[in-house]
Structure 1
Amino acid sequence: MSLRPNPPCLNPQTPPPPQSELDNIRRYDVKAIANYYRRRPWKVLGRALEVLWSFGFFLTCLLWDQWTHQVEYYKRQRAEDLRELLTKLGPTFIKVGQALSTRPDLVRRDFLEELIKLQDQLPPFDNDLAFQLMEEQLGMKVDEAYREISAHPVAAASLGQVYRAMLFSGEEVAVKVQRPNLRPRLSLDLYLMRLGAEKFGRFLPLNLGHDLTLIVDEFGIKLFEEIDYLNEGRNAEKFAENFHGDAEVKVPCIYWQYSNQKVLTLEWIQGFKLTDIDKIRAAGLDPSNIIKIGVTSGLRQLLEHGFFHADPHPGNLFATLDGRMAYIDFGMMDQLEPGTKETIASSIVQLINKDYLALTEDFIALGFLAPNTDITPIIPALENVFGSAIGQSVQDFNFKTITDDFSELMYDYPFRVPAKFALIIRSLVTQEGLALSLDPNFKIVEVAYPYVARRLLTGESPQLRRQLIDVLFKNGKFQWQRLENMLSIARSDTKFDLLPTAQLGLQFLFSEEGLYLRRQILLALTEDDRLHTDEVQRIWGLVKDDFRPQELVNVAWNAVREFSLAGVSTILPQR
């Protein structure tokens, strides 16, 4: 994929001066926000009464329905009431509703259907205000920036709305404009939420593993990142760089000359929302292929780049006319550390291999369990939960089932969900839900596990090579069946090329780093006082069709010539 270059001006316009003290708070700052509102108690009290009155009236209606035995009759009306209530309370509560819309384990189905509408079916704000904000941010008239622009927004979201426009240079663009007075509104609501979490969080029947205020703070950090469109533009370009050359993923170009903190101009995406399955099929596109692209690109974000889209709801994902997956809205992103990526890959393999001791150790490494936790009672509990969820084969795996059962496990054992993983879990559950809407028979593991197997077998990094060794050796013994399973599953993906993998494997074996593995393989071939010729023959039977004699020689030669004679000599057994 080649990205269209930006226009000559690569820098955003100089932002206008801040209009209030809160406009100076660019990042979520608990102390600065608290200091501001402690000096303005009337604002806090007024907003608190508005929120309490709104929710109080709604809860009273729910209780009345129960007392009068009319819950079933009014359930559709109450779902609409909740959506309208959150919309009326504004952006912060809309974002809460959007987060809940991806949690069918927490929200009733009728409520869920209404909350999903909060993702992209919101009322727009006044056009005049939007155009005024564009001119303030860009430092020019709207008709000086855009040759054409739609008279009304084509979409409205919680934090802004979108216009379709055309630049004087001919490019068709989307213009995102932020809702007015957004930073003060978000700040006040976050202050109230944090105050409530601090005072009453301990009385709630929640097993979160940490203080509820930390969840509010993480929510606040992400919200403040989302309302900085310069940050979103930088995220989009970083995301595009990660997928540069990928023919299946599309990322819109950012036009910095017409962008600022509250206005973002980006390439218009021609395509269909992933929920428009009839339009996707009518365009001659294969929904199953779109699903596979979505899952694979999601895994690449987590396990290769570590930089992932944390808000992949239907309004942010499109199937393009040429069959690619297009991502938009890069306000909510997060970054994983390299070691975390490798441990996630390892935990997926441990789960499939049903190695619950190793899985528990991965949970400790990832922060789900404290380092000093007694894991003895946890191992059988994990086996009970994950064993039944996985079933007899990997094809029975369902990610939502896993997360639902794991949520129940958290109440009985000292698990906690690190804030970063709350975003990852939300992202994965949302992607699986989208995939199931396109194909009810979709199994995420049929795409995910071949990808993870390829990553481990390829072993591009020292961390991945260590994870591969940990997977293939258990209690000092080589796990022949695991290697056979990984090769078989990896080869089920037509994109998996065994030749480069074999070359990397040989290079690793010939290196000093591979000394341990060489010795272990020699032991594995002769362990239990016998040559494991049957296992070797089965594995060769899996891969022999991928090799022709000349190619095999070339692979071995290319691996050997990477090293000096001294380096190659290290493969010989030491006396």
Structure 2
Amino acid sequence: MLQTAIVAVRDRQRLQEIVSVLLRHGLGEIAERLTLRTWLPGRDIPLAPAVEAATPAQRLRMALEQLGPTFVKLGQMLATRADLLPPEWTRELERLHAGVTPVPWDEIAAQIEEDLGAPVSAVFPDFVTEPVAAASMAQVYRATLPDGGAVVLKVRRPGLRRAIEADLRLLDHLVALASEHWPALERYRPREVMANLAAALREELDFRQEGRNTDAAAAVLAQREDVLIPRIHWAWTSERLLVMDFVQGASPGDSAAMTALGADGPVLARRGAEAFLQMAFEGGIFHADPHPGNLFALPGNRVAFIDFGMVGRLSPRRRQQLLSLVAAIVQADADGLAAVMLDVSEGGTPDLPELSGASERFVARHAGGVHNLVQALEDLMAVVRDARLFLPADLALLFKALATADGMLRRLDPAIDLIAVAAPIVRRELLARHSPDELAKRGKAAAAQLYGVVQDVPQVLRLVLYHLKQGKVNAQIEVRHLDRVSGALERAATRLAIAIVTAALILGLAPRLLTVGPAWHGMPVFALVGLVLAMIGLLVLLWTFRRRR
């Protein structure tokens, strides 16, 4: 409670707002569990009209939307954790959006000119001051370069970093409270989710990182003439401002525009799927939010990807695990599937018999091939939940992105099969990883590591033999919760000391105090004082024992 008070000194108004929104959306149990209700004493917060008939998942989604970009991002991150949350919760959190009012031009113009280092008109001869899009993080404007090239400016909303950092401080404290007062939440790894949220938000706040992500994706797809990634104009890009080429195309969700363009849905779907999978498997980077607003059809059945503010990254080891996972699914290998899932799991207490049984059920259900990727991913997440595994954040984000991409691509081609599209890429990657050159490269790296270990062996053996001769072999034993045991012993010693001192006062001083000093109504004053002190000591003892229980 003291720590909450210290945190609230700095962010008291925001903390009260969070508590109020939780109560207004019927989430009072969260506020009570976290001992936050006291920050709105004596205030009766009525439920919002739309809340009464809403499900718990809908209430959480509406509350997060009202709390703004930090909490919307938290909900979006939770929507990727199908390994932790049931489908009805993740589907509801996928609907998250932050309705915002655009910042007026007069309030944002000074920030743009500060980042450009010049008046807007000096850099962009033609600039439209009305934003073409406004979101919780940024606003987007159209402009023209001196050479006539069309560009868009993505501008971070003023004061956003300060507001998000304040929210992250509060969330970090709320997670600590949740871990303390709500032990059942540990299953959902709240500290890890919070760390991932903070890292993702700070990365998205820096638009230079989005520019680097865009360039990395463009480098992976540089040889594909059927895919376009917009060019970043680094001369005018900064932390709060991103300038890139304007992409004119048709959204897959706009059937009229697609028809006018003469787009071939199946061809576009396949090219989009190949590009997405190529980025992930070959480049180790993937678009984490491939919804219809971030993918366009261009003339000639070309595909354009935009908005790389939210991306996922896959290490070489993770890509190898993914290849093994796809191979196990395609080959209907239940044991192989269980082995891969156990390998990628981070922490937790896996139920191995349940993992084996769940893997066999998954393989049996999809023995004829994966005809519905979204359903297959839901079934795979059920395997993870039933076996009490915990997926790393990068895999959880990839699975969510695959499900989003599948839904979007099916608008172009209802019969598309992402697993079939992935098969040639998987085969190519497997062959590349087992090519003579790659095996020689990995062999050299392993030999170098082994050589280093061999060099250390004599010194380690000499050190062990020396300690054996001296009889100084130490053993370190880790006892779980030893800090709690130590604290309990310290409290017990304190109670014992109070009891001994109190008893000494009563037994040692009582006879003497009865015979000395002034009297009050016939009773020695010192004796009365001693009696009062003894009673206080006894009350302290009783209070400590009651507190212990």
Q: Specify the alignment match of 1:289 in structure 2.
A: 267
**Is the 1:345–1:452 contact (alpha carbons within 8 Å) kept by the matching residues of 2?**
yes
Q: Specify the alignment match of 2:161 in structure 1.
A: 183
**Is the 1:352–1:394 contact (alpha carbons within 8 Å) kept by the matching residues of 2?**
yes
Q: Measured at CA, do residues 101 and 195 of structure 1 come closer, stay the same or move farther in structure 2, by a change above 3 Å?
A: same
**1:122-170: per-residue Cα shift (whole Å, max 9, x none)?**
4322212221110111111111111111120001122101001001121
Aligned match for 1:106, one of 79, 83, 88: 88
Q: Specify the alignment match of 2:395 in structure 1.
A: 421
Q: Specify the alignment match of 2:335 in structure 1.
A: 357
Q: Specify the alignment match of 2:432 in structure 1.
A: 460
**Is the 2:77–2:197 contact (alpha carbons within 8 Å) kept by the matching residues of 1?**
no
For residue 41 of structure 1, give the secondary structure of its aligned residue in structure 2: helix
- The farther-off stretch of 352-361 and 82-91 is 82-91
Query: Shift of residue 117 of structure 1?
Result: 5.2
Q: Specify the alignment match of 2:14 in structure 1.
A: 47
AA matched with 1:379: S
Q: Specify the alignment match of 2:378 in structure 1.
A: 404
**Is the 2:155–2:240 contact (alpha carbons within 8 Å) kept by the matching residues of 1?**
yes
Alpha-carbon distance in 1 for matches of 2:165, 2:284? 29
Query: Shift of residue 101 of structure 1?
Result: 6.9
Query: Shift of residue 285 of structure 1?
Result: 0.5
Q: Specify the alignment match of 1:338 in structure 2.
A: 316
**1:77-113: per-residue Cα shift (whole Å, max 9, x none)?**
x97x98775454322123345456778923497x579
Query: Shift of residue 453 of structure 1?
Result: 3.4
Aligned match for 1:379, one of 356, 364, 369: 356
Q: Measured at CA, do residues 318 and 508 of structure 1 come closer, stay the same or move farther in structure 2, by a change above 3 Å?
A: closer
**Is the 2:221–2:279 contact (alpha carbons within 8 Å) kept by the matching residues of 1?**
no
**Is the 1:343–1:362 contact (alpha carbons within 8 Å) kept by the matching residues of 2?**
yes
Does residue 393 of the first structure (1) align with residue 368 of the second (2)?
yes
**Is the 1:251–1:328 contact (alpha carbons within 8 Å) kept by the matching residues of 2?**
yes
Does residue 215 of the first structure (1) align with residue 215 of the second (2)?
no
Q: Specify the alignment match of 1:447 in structure 2.
A: 421
Aligned match for 2:118, one of 140, 159, 171: 140
**Is the 1:270–1:321 contact (alpha carbons within 8 Å) kept by the matching residues of 2?**
no
Alpha-carbon distance in 2 for matches of 1:411, 1:248? 39
Alpha-carbon distance in 2 for matches of 1:259, 1:251? 17
AA matched with 1:106: E
* Greater relative CO, 1 or 2 (CA 8 Å, sep 6+): 1
Q: Measured at CA, do residues 247 and 38 of structure 1 come closer, stay the same or move farther in structure 2, by a change above 3 Å?
A: farther
Q: Measured at CA, do residues 374 and 73 of structure 1 come closer, stay the same or move farther in structure 2, by a change above 3 Å?
A: closer
Q: Measured at CA, do residues 300 and 167 of structure 1 come closer, stay the same or move farther in structure 2, by a change above 3 Å?
A: same
Q: Specify the alignment match of 2:174 in structure 1.
A: 196
Alpha-carbon distance in 2 for matches of 1:407, 1:201? 24
Structure 1's consecutive aligned runs of 4 or more residues displaced over 6 angstroms after TM superposition are 37-40, 70-73, 81-84, 100-104, 507-511
Q: Measured at CA, do residues 96 and 126 of structure 1 come closer, stay the same or move farther in structure 2, by a change above 3 Å?
A: farther
Does residue 247 of the first structure (1) align with residue 222 of the second (2)?
no
Mark the runs of 5 or more structure 1 residues left unpaired by the alignment.
Answer: 1-34, 62-67, 466-503, 514-575
Alpha-carbon distance in 2 for matches of 1:300, 1:281? 28
Alpha-carbon distance in 2 for matches of 1:289, 1:267? 25
AA matched with 1:272: A
Alpha-carbon distance in 2 for matches of 1:330, 1:87? 22
AA matched with 2:373: F
Alpha-carbon distance in 2 for matches of 1:100, 1:373? 21
**1:303-358: per-residue Cα shift (whole Å, max 9, x none)?**
11112222223332222233222122222223322122122112101111111212
For residue 394 of structure 1, give the secondary structure of its aligned residue in structure 2: coil
For residue 250 of structure 2, give the secondary structure of its aligned residue in structure 1: strand
Alpha-carbon distance in 2 for matches of 1:40, 1:97? 23
**Is the 1:207–1:411 contact (alpha carbons within 8 Å) kept by the matching residues of 2?**
no
Alpha-carbon distance in 1 for matches of 2:127, 2:63? 32
**1:239-262: per-residue Cα shift (whole Å, max 9, x none)?**
211111211221111111221110
Query: Shift of residue 450 of structure 1?
Result: 4.0
**Is the 1:87–1:94 contact (alpha carbons within 8 Å) kept by the matching residues of 2?**
yes
AA matched with 1:399: L
**1:374-397: per-residue Cα shift (whole Å, max 9, x none)?**
745422221113431x1x42153x
Alpha-carbon distance in 1 for matches of 2:19, 2:440? 68
For residue 125 of structure 1, give the secondary structure of its aligned residue in structure 2: coil
- The farther-off stretch of 379-388 and 143-152 is 379-388
**1:26-71: per-residue Cα shift (whole Å, max 9, x none)?**
xxxxxxxxx9x9976334221111012113112279xxxxxx9x99
**Is the 1:310–1:332 contact (alpha carbons within 8 Å) kept by the matching residues of 2?**
yes
Query: Shift of residue 217 of structure 1?
Result: 1.0
1:33-72 superposed matches below 5 A: 41-59=8-26
For residue 242 of structure 2, give the secondary structure of its aligned residue in structure 1: strand
**Is the 1:94–1:158 contact (alpha carbons within 8 Å) kept by the matching residues of 2?**
no
**Is the 1:134–1:142 contact (alpha carbons within 8 Å) kept by the matching residues of 2?**
yes
**1:215-254: per-residue Cα shift (whole Å, max 9, x none)?**
1111110111111111211221122111112112211111
Does residue 160 of the first structure (1) align with residue 138 of the second (2)?
yes
Query: Shift of residue 445 of structure 1?
Result: 2.1
Query: Shift of residue 206 of structure 1?
Result: 5.6
Query: Shift of residue 292 of structure 1?
Result: 1.4
**Is the 1:363–1:369 contact (alpha carbons within 8 Å) kept by the matching residues of 2?**
no
TM normalised by structure 2 equals 0.67
Alpha-carbon distance in 2 for matches of 1:321, 1:272? 9
**Is the 2:65–2:97 contact (alpha carbons within 8 Å) kept by the matching residues of 1?**
no
Does residue 278 of the first structure (1) align with residue 256 of the second (2)?
yes
**Is the 1:146–1:165 contact (alpha carbons within 8 Å) kept by the matching residues of 2?**
yes
**Is the 1:153–1:161 contact (alpha carbons within 8 Å) kept by the matching residues of 2?**
yes
Alpha-carbon distance in 2 for matches of 1:259, 1:224? 17
Q: Measured at CA, do residues 332 and 108 of structure 1 come closer, stay the same or move farther in structure 2, by a change above 3 Å?
A: closer
Mark the runs of 5 or more structure 2 residues left unpaired by the alignment.
Answer: 29-46, 444-549
AA matched with 1:311: D
Identity %: 29
For residue 460 of structure 1, give the secondary structure of its aligned residue in structure 2: helix
**Is the 1:281–1:287 contact (alpha carbons within 8 Å) kept by the matching residues of 2?**
no
Query: Shift of residue 437 of structure 1?
Result: 3.5
Query: Shift of residue 434 of structure 1?
Result: 1.3
AA matched with 1:412: D
Cα RMSD of the aligned pairs, angstroms, is 3.7
Q: Measured at CA, do residues 358 and 59 of structure 1 come closer, stay the same or move farther in structure 2, by a change above 3 Å?
A: same
For residue 106 of structure 1, give the secondary structure of its aligned residue in structure 2: helix
Q: Measured at CA, do residues 132 and 204 of structure 1 come closer, stay the same or move farther in structure 2, by a change above 3 Å?
A: farther
Alpha-carbon distance in 2 for matches of 1:122, 1:315? 18
How many residue pairs get matched? 417
Alpha-carbon distance in 2 for matches of 1:199, 1:410? 27
1:478-497 superposed matches below 5 A: none
